[in-house]
Amino acid sequence: MPHADSLIMTLVGGFVLAFVFGMLANRLKLSPLVGYLVAGIVVGPFTPGYVADTELAPQLAEIGVILLMFGVGLHFSPKDLMQVRKVAVPGALAQIAAATAMGWLLGRFLLGLNDTEALLLGFSLSVASTVVLIRALEERRQVKGEIGRVAVGWLIVEDLVIVIALVMLPLIVVPAGQTQDLGTLGVNIGVTLVKVAVFVGLMLVVGGKVLPWLLVRIAHTKSRELFTLGVLAIALGIAWLAYAVFGASFALGAFVAGLVLNGTPLGHNAAERSLPLRDAFAVLFFVSVGMLFDPTILWREPLAVLGVLFIVVVGKTLAALAITTVFKLDRKTSLTVGASLAQIGEFSFILAALSMYLGAMSRETHDLILAAALLSITVNPFVFKLIDRMGAAPDAGRIARAEAAEPVEIARPDPVKTIPEPR
């Protein structure tokens, strides 16, 4: 394939096949993410036929990660988290610890991994996909209720843990066979934390004043295109600033940018304007992850695949049920939260890819994590059907009454078009 058209071919192959397999997954009542991952497997180097550019796809995926984290920041609501903090914060931390421990035990004693790789395996299995969770709750019309607030708050805490992990992993992860001086490690961690603190402080103080002002000035142009371009420029520019100047990750920079814009008067509009491109590059992210997956591991290491899948679907669910029972949540909420966490997704991919890049995780372990994600997302709808039989089915009457009580949605004027010109 000529180098000049590799970008076009990668985009065409990725989007077209993602659409085809996404539609097929949707018809089968599965998450479209399954279709996107399968599309990546089809155009990957481990299957016959057309192979997309394996060097270009990860770079497009990096943009997808940036926009995903920007979206997480845009939708992060400290107010919602504070409402369920007594359950979500300790619950999420305890569940991450339990799943990490189970993954470490599996990796260390059954798969023969070293301690570092086994811990990274468990940590990657401990975090659920926000995309899958929100979709499941929306289908059950539980996003706005108490169950939805607890589940989403739980995932917000997990997302925050991931953001911290993406910053700290390059400093604390040591590949097998290497050693690291504790003094040097402490200095490196301290310097990095100072840089990150300075970056976050500048963004919250300076960016909190400059970015809202900038968005308003862009909105005064009354151009949808310029407003959308401005939002994307802010997201990508701040992500690059965090990486190039402060030594943080692209993901952290994008998350903080979204967090700052979330508190501005035009934050909601910024989220809407960036959504199409965020969705498009998120699709490319999942396709590129599928390209890295060697499907032969499903029959080469079936017991290992079943082991990691058991931890994700059964182990995490039981851990969540135990934790929610301790906090005396009702049966329906406990079952729904447990089922919501019985899958892994985008952040597990990011953690696994970073671990492999650092030389602390083998491709075999990386493929196990991808297999667990693909299979757990596939079976997640069936997990919800199972808990519905156990008494977690949404109350149809309550949903109908809530929908009837909701005010009629009135079209609001576009802030980009209606902000008055400055005098």
Q: According to the model, what pLDDT value does residue 173 have?
A: 73
Whether residue 199 lies inside any domain: the answer is yes
Q: According to the model, what pLDDT value does residue 189 have?
A: 74
Q: How far is Cα 166 from Cα 116, in angstroms, rounded to an integer?
A: 16
Report phi then psi at 53, rounded to 5: -65, 110
Q: According to the model, what pLDDT value does residue 73 have?
A: 77
pLDDT, tens digit only, all 423 positions of the chain:
455 567 788 888 888 999 999 999 989 888 888 898 899 889 888 888 777 777 777 777 778 778 877 877 777 667 767 777 788 889 889 999 999 999 999 999 988 898 889 999 999 999 888 778 877 777 777 777 777 788 888 888 887 888 788 878 887 776 555 556 667 667 777 777 787 788 878 887 777 788 888 888 888 888 888 888 888 888 888 888 888 877 777 777 888 888 777 777 767 777 777 777 778 888 888 888 888 888 899 999 999 999 999 999 999 999 989 998 888 888 888 888 888 889 887 788 888 888 888 888 898 999 999 899 889 988 888 888 888 888 777 765 555 444 444 444 434 445 444 454 444
CATH of the domain at 241: 1.20.1530.20
Task: Give the list of residues 6+ apart from residue 312 with CB closer than 8 angstroms, or none.
Answer: 99, 125, 342, 343, 344, 372, 376
Q: How far is Cα 238 from Cα 259, in angstroms, rounded to an integer?
A: 12
Whether residue 170 lies inside any domain: the answer is yes
Whether residue 422 lies inside any domain: the answer is no
Q: According to the model, what pLDDT value does residue 409 have?
A: 40
- 3-state DSSP of the chain: CCHHHHHHHHHHHHHHHHHHHHHHHHHCCCCHHHHHHHHHHHCCCCCCCCCCCCCHHHHHHHHHHHHHHHHHHHHCCHHHHHHCHHHHHHHHHHHHHHHHHHHHHHHHHHCCCCHHHHHHHHHHHCCCCHHHHHHHHHHCCCCCCHHHHHHHHHHHHHHHHHHHHHHHHHHHCCCCCCCCCHHHHHHHHHHHHHHHHHHHHHHHHHHHHHHHHHHHHHHCCCCHHHHHHHHHHHHHHHHHHHHHCCCCCHHHHHHHHHHHHHCCCCHHHHHHHHHHHHHHHHHHHHHHHHHCCCCCHHHHCHHHHHHHHHHHHHHHHHHHHHHHHHCCCCHHHHHHHHHHCCCCCHHHHHHHHHHHHCCCCCHHHHHHHHHHHHHHHHHHHHHHHHHHHHHHCCCHHHHHHHHHHCCCCCCCCCHHHHCCCCC
Whether residue 420 lies inside any domain: the answer is no
Q: According to the model, what pLDDT value does residue 303 have?
A: 93
**Total domains present in the chain:** 1
Q: According to the model, what pLDDT value does residue 179 have?
A: 56
Nearest to 283 by CA among 5, 4, 23: 23
Q: Which pTM was predicted?
A: 0.79
Q: According to the model, what pLDDT value does residue 395 have?
A: 67
Instruction: Give residue 327's domain range.
Output: 3-177+184-405
Using alpha carbons, list the distances in angstroms from residue 117 to 110, 163, 363: 13, 20, 11
Whether residue 271 lies inside any domain: the answer is yes
Q: 130 near 72, Cβ under 8 Å?
A: yes
The tens digit of pLDDT for each residue in 295-322 reads 899 999 999 999 999 999 999 999 989 9
Nearest to 227 by CA among 278, 280, 267, 282: 267
Other C-beta atoms lying within 10 Å of the C-beta of residue 120: 30
Q: How far is Cα 298 from Cα 367, in angstroms, rounded to an integer?
A: 9
Structure tokens belonging to residue 211:
């970015």
Q: According to the model, what pLDDT value does residue 407 have?
A: 43
Q: According to the model, what pLDDT value does residue 1 have?
A: 47
